[in-house]
């Protein structure tokens, strides 16, 4: 019959059949015949979709960054979405308006607004290294966003694939990071050399301490030897003093004995003692004694005659014998 058409949808497509301004049938994966001149078909996709996006934002230090990511979503309230946007299809199943694309635009705009609110609070450096933090805040914002809720869309996930600064700023950051790495390398070399010098100093100190300990030990040995020598010398000095004292006592003892021996002879004339000592029989000793007395009293003697016979008798060996 002219105007009668057959509609068949997949299980992931929710179809609403309006005829004469009234909803005649609805459901997912429906197949039915309808009269095209008075019917309107609305097909809302139920499957999850991935929506890529790329936009530029400015950090708090006025540096531009390019943010690239992807939003995963699905329609959870098809009637609400169909009441806000036109998802009507023609006889070939194509959308007759641009509203399906408008849904994607609104979702991207929502992501961009939430991302801008986070990025504009951070300087460029924190934005470049804080990707996970930005994703977490954007995801929380999407889950509680009124526009997303009003569209009847459920956000399954959001991910940021890259955050890139402007090419000039990227080169500047690379140069700064390169210089910082060079400085860190120089510091590492300095610390290694300083550690080597410190170890060398410790080795030198250990060697000096060893030499000092050895020298102290040698000095202790020399001091012990000197103490031993001093002890020997002191013992030797004590021995000499003891020997001198003994010799002194011995001399004193001999002097005392001699004095005691000669004490009885103190009252005798020395000539008498000499005569006694000579035994009284040596004429030469007696003549010598006589000559000594003559010499002592020479001033009293006027004239002294000595005959040659007397001298010969005195000089003759054994002249005292008869």
Residue numbers of the domain that contains 212: 195-267
**HSE-up of residue 129 (Cα within 13 Å, Cβ side):** 4
Is 116 part of any domain? yes
Is 234 part of any domain? yes
Is 183 part of any domain? no
Say yes or no: 58 and 159 in one domain. yes
pLDDT at 311: 67
Compare 278 and 302 and report the one with higher pLDDT: 302
What average pLDDT does range 139-153 have in this prediction? 91
Q: Which helix (H) or strand (E) holds 55?
A: strand 49-58
- The SS3 call for residue 60 is coil
Comparing 73-87, 135-149, 175-189, 285-299, the range with the smallest average pLDDT is 285-299
Q: Which helix (H) or strand (E) holds 15?
A: strand 13-19
Say yes or no: 118 and 57 in one domain. yes
Task: Please say which residue of 145, 165, 185 terminates a domain.
Answer: 165
Say yes or no: 82 and 148 in one domain. yes
Rounded-to-integer distance, Cα 7 and Cα 230, Å: 131
User: Percent of the chain at pLDDT above 70?
Assistant: 83
Where residue 322 falls among pLDDT bands split at 50, 70, 90? very low
pLDDT at 285: 66
pLDDT at 319: 47
Is 172 part of any domain? no
Scored b (16 or more CB within 10 A) or e, 276-311 reads: eeeeeeeeebbeeeeeeeeeeeeeeeeeeeeeeeee
Is residue 40 over pLDDT 50? yes
Is residue 35 over pLDDT 90? no
Say yes or no: 231 and 149 in one domain. no
CATH code assigned at 108: 3.30.479.30
Comparing 13-22, 155-164, 278-287, the range with the smallest average pLDDT is 278-287
Where residue 260 falls among pLDDT bands split at 50, 70, 90? confident
Is 23 part of any domain? yes
Closest by CA to 15, choosing from 79, 74, 73, is: 79
Other beta carbons within 10 Å of 16 = 20
> How many residues are present in the chain?
322
What average pLDDT does range 29-47 have in this prediction? 90
- The SS3 call for residue 41 is strand
Say yes or no: 225 and 259 in one domain. yes
Range list of H helices, 91-130: 99-119, 124-129
Closest by CA to 250, choosing from 239, 262, 261, 242, is: 242
Is 294 part of any domain? yes
Range list of H helices, the chain: 78-84, 99-119, 124-129, 131-143, 146-151, 167-262, 270-277, 283-296, 308-315
Is 173 part of any domain? no
Is residue 306 over pLDDT 90? no
Where residue 310 falls among pLDDT bands split at 50, 70, 90? low
Say yes or no: 52 and 119 in one domain. yes
How does pLDDT run across 207-218, given as a tens digit for each residue? 999 999 999 999
Say yes or no: 218 and 251 in one domain. yes
Say yes or no: 30 and 57 in one domain. no
Is residue 318 over pLDDT 60? no
Say yes or no: 158 and 73 in one domain. yes
Say yes or no: 63 and 133 in one domain. yes
Say yes or no: 212 and 258 in one domain. yes
pLDDT at 159: 93
The token duo for 257 is 């004995």
pLDDT at 279: 52
Compare 11 and 285 and report the one with higher pLDDT: 11
Compare 320 and 203 and report the one with higher pLDDT: 203
What is the count of structural domains for the chain? 4
Task: Please say which residue of 165, 184, 203 terminates a domain.
Answer: 165
Say yes or no: 260 and 229 in one domain. yes
Q: Which residue has the tokens 């000592």?
A: 277
Is 241 part of any domain? yes
């Amino acid at each position: 019959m002219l105007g009668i058409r057959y509609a068949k949808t997949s299980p992931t497509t929710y179809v609403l059949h309006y005829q004469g301004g009234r909803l005649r049938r609805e459901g997912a994966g429906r197949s039915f015949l309808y009269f095209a001149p008075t019917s309107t078909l609305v097909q809302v996709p139920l499957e999850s979709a991935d929506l890529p996006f790329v936009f530029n934002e400015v950090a708090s230090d006025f540096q531009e960054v390019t943010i690239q990511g992807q939003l995963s979503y699905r329609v959870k309230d098809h009637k609400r979405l169909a009441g806000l946007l036109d998802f009507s299809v023609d006889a070939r199943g194509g959308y007759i308006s641009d509203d399906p694309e408008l849904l994607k635009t609104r979702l991207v705009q929502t992501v961009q607004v939430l991302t801008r609110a986070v990025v504009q609070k951070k300087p460029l450096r924190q934005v470049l290294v804080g990707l996970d933090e930005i994703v977490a805040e954007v995801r929380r914002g999407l889950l509680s966003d009124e526009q997303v809720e009003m569209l009847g869309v459920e956000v399954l996930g959001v991910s940021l694939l890259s955050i890139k600064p402007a090419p000039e700023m990227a080169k500047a950051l690379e140069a700064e990071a390169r210089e910082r790495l060079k400085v860190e390398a120089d510091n590492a070399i300095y610390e290694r050399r300083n550690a080597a010098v410190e170890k060398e100093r410790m080795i030198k100190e250990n060697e000096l301490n060893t030499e000092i300990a050895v020298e102290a030990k040698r000095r202790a040995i020399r001091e012990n030897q000197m103490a031993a020598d001093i002890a020997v010398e002191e013992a030797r000095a004590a021995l000499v003093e003891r020997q001198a004292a003994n010799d002194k006592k011995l001399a004193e003892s001999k002097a005392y004995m001699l004095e005691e021996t000669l004490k009885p002879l103190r009252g005798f004339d020395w000539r008498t003692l000499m005569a006694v000592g000579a035994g009284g029989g040596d004429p030469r000793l007696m003549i010598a004694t006589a000559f000594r007395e003559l010499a002592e009293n020479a001033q009293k003697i006027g004239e002294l005659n000595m005959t040659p016979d007397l001298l010969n008798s005195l000089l003759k060996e054994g002249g005292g014998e008869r």
